[in-house]
Amino acid sequence: MSITIELPPDLDERVRVIPDLDKRIVQFLRTQTDLEEWRNRKYSPEARAAAGRALAEADRMRAAGMTREEAFEQLRSAHDEVSKHL
């Protein structure tokens, strides 16, 4: 397999001086592949889908201008509401 990627101009010049860049990239890809395989074994498809939905919701909230503090307050309020029924 061969991969060609377009680098931003500022990065293109800077990476040219890195020795054995191809070996480093291959090692990085091996590590990332191992990590992805581990995640797939550790987490069920349902858990990964739930995490994806949560990330999408966080992106939506951020785009709507909600701050981290407001999101935490919303979570705390929901937790308090559920907890009083336990």
pLDDT tens string 25-38 = 999 999 999 999 99
Query: Could you tell me the residue range of the domain that residue 73 belongs to?
Result: 20-83
Considering the domain boundaries, does residue 6 fall inside one?
no
Considering the domain boundaries, does residue 65 fall inside one?
yes
Considering the domain boundaries, does residue 55 fall inside one?
yes
Considering the domain boundaries, does residue 62 fall inside one?
yes
Considering the domain boundaries, does residue 4 fall inside one?
no
Number of domains in the chain: 1
Q: Give the model's confidence band at 55: pLDDT under 50 very low, under 70 low, under 90 confident, else very high.
A: very high
> Pick from 39, 20, 4: which is nearest to 28 by CA?
20
Considering the domain boundaries, does residue 42 fall inside one?
yes
Considering the domain boundaries, does residue 13 fall inside one?
no
Considering the domain boundaries, does residue 43 fall inside one?
yes
pTM, entire model:
0.53
Give the 3-state secondary structure of residue 8.
coil
Report the C-alpha gap between 62 and 68 in whole angstroms.
8
Q: Would you state the pLDDT for residue 60? A: 94
